[in-house]
Structure 1
């Protein structure tokens, strides 16, 4: 969580296993392998810089509510519910669900976080 929020690429890229996957069901995003996932976070995924994660558990696995910086500059708005699969301390899969109004309400999560 700290590595993601700080967008610390060294720490963040040490977490996925070599055969890890990153996917977003219902959308055309499915990556496999450490290099592809790291490349995505350093390229297109860099829009996540400045995000705020809130830890939670979903389906019995570690997860986090992912909030992007708000376009109006006032706090953060919902982006995704991220589920993590972890084996032996390494991330094996990251699945991002983007139906945030429905999913965040199931976890009683706010749709907007105030600025810090």
Structure 2
């Protein structure tokens, strides 16, 4: 949460495994590997400016994070 909220791209990407990947259904998007993830986050980070994470649960049992606009 701290890495995301502070826009610390290096710290955020270091949380992924080397073969980590990200997709965002329903969009046809698939990003894989730390180098590509780092580039994607650097290019799109402005979308998240002013957002924070709120810890919550899914289905009353599973830990989750809700992304909220703090501004």
Tell me how far apart the structure 2 counterparts of residues 26 and 46 of structure 1 sit (CA, whole Å): 21
Between structures 1 and 2, the one with greater strand share: 1
Q: CA RMSD in A?
A: 2.1
Between structures 1 and 2, the one with greater helix share: 2
Matched positions, count:
70
Displacement of 1:10 in angstroms is: 2.6
Tell me how far apart the structure 2 counterparts of residues 33 and 57 of structure 1 sit (CA, whole Å): 28
Deviations 1:53-111 (A, max 9, x none): 112233665431112xxxxxxxx2xxxxxxxxxxxxxxxxxxxxxxxxxxxxxxxxxxx
Tell me how far apart the structure 2 counterparts of residues 15 and 23 of structure 1 sit (CA, whole Å): 16
Which secondary structure state, in structure 2, belongs to the residue aligned with residue 11 of structure 1?
A: helix
Displacement of 1:2 in angstroms is: 0.9
